[in-house]
Amino acid sequence: MTPAFAWALCLMGAVVMVSIVLTGAGRAKADFTMADLQAPRAMFERLPAFGQRAVWAQENSWEALTLGAPAMLLCLISGVSSPTAIAAAWIWPGIRFVYLFAYVGNVPPLRGLCWATGVTAVGICYVEGLRAVISAAG
Q: How many domains does the chain have?
A: 1
Q: Specify the pTM.
A: 0.90
pLDDT at position 31: 79
Here the CATH number for the domain that contains residue 10 is: 1.20.120.550
Show the domain range for 19. Answer: 3-137
Q: Among candidates 53, 54, 48, which has minimal Cα distance to 23?
A: 54
Residue-by-residue pLDDT tens, the chain, 138 positions: 789 999 999 999 999 999 999 999 998 888 777 777 787 777 888 899 999 999 999 999 999 999 999 999 999 999 999 999 999 999 999 999 999 999 999 999 999 999 999 999 999 999 999 999 999 997
- Distance (Å, whole) CA 121 – CA 58: 20
Percentage helix, strand, coil for the chain under 3-state DSSP, each rounded to 5: 85, 0, 15
Q: Among candidates 89, 84, 86, 82, which has minimal Cα distance to 68?
A: 89
